[in-house]
Amino acid sequence: MTPPPDLGWAGVLVALVGGAIRVSTPYLFVSLGETLTERSGRVNLGLEGTLVLGAMSAYGVAYLSGSPWLGVLVAGLAGALLGLLHASVCNLPRVNDIAVGIALFLLGTGLAFYLGKPFIEPRAPRLPSLALGAWSGSPQVRAALEVNALFLAGAVLAPLLWWALRGTRWGLILRTAGDNADAARALGHSVGLTRVLATMAGGFLAGVGGSFLSLYYPGTWNEGLSSGQGLMAIALVIFARWNPLACFGVSLLFGAATALGPALQSVGITAYYDLLNAAPYGLTLALLIWSSSTRHALVGAPGELTISK
Amino acid sequence: MALRAWAETAALTSAALLVTLVVFGGLVAARGLDPVAVYATLYVGAFGTWFSLEDTLTQAAPLMLTALATAIPARAGLLVIGGEGALVVGGVATVLAGVLLAGAPPAVAIGLMCGAGALAGGLWIAAAGALRHWRGVNETISTLLLNYIAVAVLNWLVSSPIRDFDQVLKAASWPVGEAFMLGDIPGTGIHWGLAFGVAACLVAWGLLRATTFGFAVDILGGNLRAAQMVGLPVGRLVLATCFLGGAAAGLAGALEVAAVHGFASASLVVGYGYAGILAAFLARQHPLGCIAVAVLLGGISASGGLLQRRFGLPDAATLVLQGILFVAVLATHTLHGRLRAGRAA
């Protein structure tokens, strides 16, 4: 993965592009899922647990069945189940969605570690990837453009969700539940059911994002697999202003930021490696401070969201 | 009235505990184990022997303090989830104070170190309070982000600027020195952190219950408009509750350094902050409740080792048990006040 000295700073750039493509996939899926959930008016802070449980169940199922795609599907279903639990508990009046999210963060991680112990040793089949860099003579470029099928699926899904939220009946119902629950009720739609479905869909996507971690990159299952991508998605969605298309761009940006430290390390710059890891959070906080106001909610934020009030 | 509220809380909490025991029992039975035997062992591992009780109380100490980080601002209507970050900056400040004070009388130095930790944690969360009041930045999000920034700053500091290069196995900060370590409570294997934790919860309870400050905070928490109408200094109350909550978590970090590790490192980041959020919700943001909940959660964690040795259960079993308990208790929050209303009608 380290670029050889002959590429030098160009190598850093290649590593950044490659890193952005490789690292961004879990961000992309988790943030698309969280966008769906938040646009329905609810925050699910438990997607970190969903991600880890998704990673474990994908790995376990792929190992036992020999099919990585079956693993992806089961990871999504496990995520949807956690989403169902979150949404049903939050549908009860006076239950705090932030607290339930943190509880599910703990429960999802705990369940993954509890059930995943037997899968730490064996090797599961990996997801396939496409060699989009086959034209290049440089092994670095080829490695950077080795694109996984899930990344492409996410790249298609982002504009699709953007269109679905904007231009379909379902999207309108979802947005109404998220912007003004009373209006949605007045139109005869069940806000609770809408949020259950949106949270389940969000959990499904986050679970699929987790399967990428265990079945492609890093491509193994262990208890230190996720480095907080699920929680970072919360920041990412704010950064993307609850817009699926922007989620795609911001996921690439966060992925590149994650890859920046190792890339700089390879050309001998190591001093601020750990601080660079905080860059996405610092940027999001700066954006929040800049765009918040005591007079109105955040631009683009769903009106029913507890965290935008 | 107060008695009824207590009875209601006790009934709902027992119901949640029962549901938890049944669900987790099912999980355990699915592995072919006898749930009753597992629970008996869990009790022994948590409270059954003096040794396990010591372990339980040691684990409970930081949880009491990180629970206050959420519980105190919650009384003013804020949802702060930054205990983890405040604990980390508190630990770092304690190390810096300890190194600066080298040679000072230990009693003075330890006092100042804990003060520095509390101050740093307090300012960390107060910054989120200030952003909330003057910029309208949501405190839940900002404190979540600040957690990550604190951990990154810690990792950076221990990777070179304050690194102890004599420690080769892991990146750790300079040590505060044996002389500045807070020992155990005499006659026990429990460090003094427990006393700090219980004292902090008692002080917080007294402050919120019996002072005009606490009364003002309750009005603010109940209704922001009303607080503004009667001319309460809303900004100062927001800052003060955030500072006090952050100071409690910062003190937890100080104690982890001065009573457990002797230095700052990634071992400060073990999730006490996040567990504290749930402890606060389980205690329904009541400072005295935080003590009881912290002991319960500490006990569950402490029993993990014994469950693993006796039944071969993965150590994550205690995480699963806590997770189920949290979901169950949060779900009962919907019934609070209803049982009472039903009886009064």
Tens digit of each residue's pLDDT (9 = 90 or more) over B66-114: 999 999 999 999 999 999 999 999 999 999 999 999 989 999 999 999 9
A123 found inside a domain: yes
Task: Output the 3-class SS for A100-122.
Answer: HHHHHHHHHHHHHHHHHHHHCCC
B118 found inside a domain: yes
CB distance from A286 to chain B under 8 Å? Answer: no
CB distance from B140 to chain A under 8 Å? Answer: yes
Indicate which CATH number applies to the domain containing B226.
1.10.3470
Its domain, for residue B84, covers 12-334
User: Which of A118-127, A294-303, B195-204, B324-333 has the weakest average pLDDT?
Assistant: A294-303
Chain A's closest residue to B142, CA to CA, is A285
B236 found inside a domain: yes
DSSP for B111-141, please give it. Answer: HHHHHHHHHHHHHHHHHHHHIIIII---HHH
Chain A CB contacts of B322 under 8 Å are 106, 110
Its domain, for residue A205, covers 8-308
With a pLDDT cut of 90, the percent of chain A lying above it is 55
Of A85, A278, A295, the CB nearest to B148: A278
Q: Please judge whether B144 and A235 are an interchain contact, meaning their C-beta atoms are less than 8 angstroms apart.
A: yes
Mean per-residue pLDDT, A245-258: 91
CB distance from B333 to chain A under 8 Å? Answer: yes
| Rounded Cα gap, residues A141 and A154, in angstroms | 22
Cis ω for the linkage preceding B287 (within 30 of 0): no
A1 found inside a domain: no
Question: Which DSSP letter does residue A93 get?
Answer: T
B84, B274 contact by CB (below 8 A): yes
B236, B95 contact by CB (below 8 A): no
Of A102, A108, A285, the CB nearest to B142: A285
B341 found inside a domain: no
B120, B243 contact by CB (below 8 A): no
Cα R_g (chain A), whole angstroms: 20
Chain B's closest residue to A234, CA to CA, is B141
CA distances from B139 to B128, B155, B205 (A): 6, 24, 23
Enumerate residues 28 to 57 of chain B having a beta carbon within 8 A of any beta carbon in chain A. Answer: none
Q: Please judge whether A110 and B322 are an interchain contact, meaning their C-beta atoms are less than 8 angstroms apart.
A: yes
B104 found inside a domain: yes
Of B145, B275, B336, the CB nearest to A235: B145
When pLDDT is cut at 50, 70 and 90, the band that residue A303 belongs to is confident
Indicate which CATH number applies to the domain containing A261.
1.10.3470
Residue B190 dihedral angles phi and psi, to the nearest 5°: -105, 130
B340 found inside a domain: no
When pLDDT is cut at 50, 70 and 90, the band that residue A6 belongs to is low
When pLDDT is cut at 50, 70 and 90, the band that residue A124 belongs to is confident
The total number of residues written for chain A in this structure: 309
A158 found inside a domain: yes
Residue B285 dihedral angles phi and psi, to the nearest 5°: 60, 20
If one counts the domains in chain A, the total is: 1
Q: Please judge whether B136 and A295 are an interchain contact, meaning their C-beta atoms are less than 8 angstroms apart.
A: yes
A264 found inside a domain: yes
Q: Please judge whether A285 and B149 are an interchain contact, meaning their C-beta atoms are less than 8 angstroms apart.
A: yes
What pLDDT does B342 receive?
47
CA distances from A234 to A112, A218, A228, B262 (A): 21, 22, 11, 34
* Residue A134 burial (C-beta neighbours within 10 Å; 0-12, 13-18, 19+): exposed
A274 vs B211, more confident = B211
When pLDDT is cut at 50, 70 and 90, the band that residue A78 belongs to is very high
Q: Please judge whether A108 and B323 are an interchain contact, meaning their C-beta atoms are less than 8 angstroms apart.
A: yes
User: Which of A83-92, B5-14, B255-264, B298-307 has the weakest average pLDDT?
Assistant: B5-14
Cα R_g (chain B), whole angstroms: 21
CA-based nearest distance B205→chain A, Å? 22
| Dihedral, CA of residue A47, residue A49, residue A53 and residue A56, to nearest 10 | 110
B89 found inside a domain: yes
What pLDDT does B23 receive?
96
Write the Ramachandran bin of B181: left for phi over 0, alpha for psi from -120 to 50, otherwise beta: beta
Instruction: Enter the tokens of residue A214.
Output: 């265990």
| Rounded Cα gap, residues B303 and B280, in angstroms | 22
Tens digit of each residue's pLDDT (9 = 90 or more) over B33-67: 999 999 999 999 999 999 999 999 999 999 999 99
Q: What angle do CA B144, B148, B150 make, to 5 degrees?
A: 110
B293 vs A122, more confident = B293
Q: Please judge whether A274 and B135 are an interchain contact, meaning their C-beta atoms are less than 8 angstroms apart.
A: no
B1 found inside a domain: no
Mean per-residue pLDDT, A67-76: 96
Chain B CB contacts of A284 under 8 Å are 145
Chain A CB contacts of B153 under 8 Å are 275, 278
B339 found inside a domain: no
Tens digit of each residue's pLDDT (9 = 90 or more) over A211-220: 999 999 888 9
Residue A293 dihedral angles phi and psi, to the nearest 5°: -155, 150
A2 found inside a domain: no
pTM of this prediction exceeds 0.90 = yes
